[in-house]
Structure 1
Amino acid sequence: MRKHYRVEIMALWEQKLQIGDKATLFMELGQGIT
């Protein structure tokens, strides 16, 4: 389940990088890690 979660994070990462919404990306990653 942990690995699957990481896969989803990477997918969201790629999508957000394409959009250029890096600020929101890091905020979401911070909440997910914490």
Structure 2
Amino acid sequence: MHNSPYKETLLISIANIIKKRIGIERIFGKID
């Protein structure tokens, strides 16, 4: 059983969520 592929996809998905949240925060920061 190799867990690395699952962990890699999980980390990528988390990174994408963080990037989206940072982008939203920047947009709201510009609006404020």
Range into which the TM-score falls when normalised by the shorter chain: 0.5 to 0.7
**4+ runs of 1 displaced by more than 6 Å?**
none
TM-score w.r.t. the length of structure 1 is: 0.56
Root mean square deviation of aligned Cα? 0.4
Identity of aligned residues (%): 5
Larger Rg: 2
Structure number with greater CO (CA < 8 Å, separation at least 6) is 1
